């Protein structure tokens, strides 16, 4: 395996985008946000967010209704709201929030 030098690591970090993500769920009379952090390759973030939303709670494209809302049984799942963050913020937040790749909820 090739050893990475500092320049390689900086390039890898710069090729990523980092986000704090909130997904709103509506479950009967209860409504709440679930927060997580996401890292994705630069230029692939829209695709990553859509995939995160569709796969939330094991969903599929067919779970999206005619109004564009995703449903998992009786739970309505809002499209993720995102805030782009720095790599340094991501490193701190991933200690407290779940990351994509691990369950966000």
Q: What is the pLDDT of residues 46-59, one digit of tens each?
A: 888 999 899 888 88
pLDDT at 6: 54
Closest CA to 16 of 102, 96, 97, 84: 84
Q: What is the pLDDT of residues 47-97, one digit of tens each?
A: 889 998 998 888 888 889 888 889 988 899 999 999 999 999 999 999 999
Inter-residue contact 63 to 72 (CB < 8 Å): yes
Q: Please say if the pLDDT value at position 102 is more than 80.
A: no
Which letter does DSSP use for residue 2 in this model? P
**Domain locations along the chain:** 18-99
């Amino acid at each position: 395996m090739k050893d990475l030098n500092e320049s390689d690591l900086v390039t890898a970090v710069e090729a990523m985008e980092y986000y704090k993500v909130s997904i709103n769920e509506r479950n009967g009379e209860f409504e709440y946000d679930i927060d997580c952090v996401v890292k994705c390759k630069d230029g692939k973030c829209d695709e990553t967010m859509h995939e995160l939303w569709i796969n939330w709670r094991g969903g599929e494209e067919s779970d999206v209704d005619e109004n564009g809302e995703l449903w998992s049984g009786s739970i309505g799942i809002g499209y993720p709201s995102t805030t782009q963050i720095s790599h340094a913020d991501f490193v701190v937040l991933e200690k407290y929030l779940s990351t994509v790749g691990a369950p966000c909820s």
